Amino acid sequence: MSNDDDKGDDNPLDKTSVVTSETLKMRLDEAETSPPAVVLLMGPARYVGRQWLLNMTEMVVGRAYESHIFVEDRSISKRHGKFFTKDGNVFYEDLNSTNGTEVNGRKVAAQEPIALRNNDQLKCGNVIFKFLDQGNLETFTHKNTYDRTQLDPLTQIYNKGALLATGEEIVRKGLQGNFSVVVIVFDLDNFKMVNDTYGHQAGDYVLREMASLIQNQLIRSEDFFARFGGEEFCLILSGSPLQRGVEVAERIRSTIADYEFKYNDTDLPVTVSMGVAVLEPGMADWKDLFEKADKAAYLSKQGGKNRVSTI
């Protein structure tokens, strides 16, 4: 609660955050080690602001599902161009794209590599990227800013907005490329009772601890893990068959059931009910796949909770 003296004080200087010199040095040191990157400035709304680190020798940008920098826009060719590193410099090469590439407003010839400089803008079809050279502070600050829009502040895993965007993209890739996508939906059993009995801080502790346990110990770094509701979570496994999804879900379920969630010297009862579904040819989009996994999770609830179900 604010003091009376604070009311009506609109001086913006009073709201300026102060960063210690030690923190600033740490941020600058981290920025200096950041690899080159490209940021999407203009294009489909769901991609605007996304950043890709150019941390591989060669990275293809295009509309094909296997592209390293995948942007679903009809103005971009399936293999539009590629970024590659040579002798410490980053180059871009147009791969005979239909709509061509411009760098800083000048069209580049196909298959003729052009060296990139910091803040160069590349127009691939109707999509515009900005190149950030190695050690650019903007790469670091942009990542932090973008992450804040993508991460759940309590658990520090992805949020609902990131889940919807990523889920839609992965399912489109799966349908286009004919590869498997598994979705696991789950939520905590009797979570309202935990909040009502032990307090909301205890509930927050459970959510943070469980998310950290799963993220750091039970899934792969390439798996996509998100919180999309109060006690509701979703995990996307790309390129995995249904059986692996069931095995991952069971590992998560059993680990959580056996884990000691202790808050203020009190053991808290925590279990989860899980549903697993795999992308099928008849499915039209992300919504179809998610709803099937959600229905399977409901079966786990109806069947006695603390279990894994499929449909």
- Exposed, middle or buried, 34 (CB in 10 Å: 0-12/13-18/19+)? buried
Pairing of strands 114-115, 106-107: unpaired
Contact 191, 261 (CB under 8 A): no
- Exposed, middle or buried, 189 (CB in 10 Å: 0-12/13-18/19+)? buried
Residue 171 Cα distances to 236, 239, 240, 245, 301, angstroms: 10, 11, 13, 16, 26
Q: Which of 138, 231, 232, 250 is catalytic?
A: 231
Alpha-carbon gap, residue 277 to 10, rounded angstroms = 52
Residue 209's φ and ψ, nearest 5 degrees, are: -65, -45
CA atoms within 13 A on the CB side of 271: 14
Residue labelled with tokens 């009506």 = 8
Q: Which amino acid is at 144?
A: N
231 has catalytic annotation: yes
Contact 134, 35 (CB under 8 A): yes
Give just the sign of the alpha carbon dihedral 210, 154, 152, 274: positive
Q: Which tokens sit at 260?
A: 């000691």
Alpha-carbon gap, residue 106 to 92, rounded angstroms = 13
Contact 111, 89 (CB under 8 A): no
Nearest residue to 277 (alpha-carbon basis) of 305, 224, 241, 226: 241
Alpha-carbon gap, residue 231 to 204, rounded angstroms = 10
Residues involved in catalysis: 231
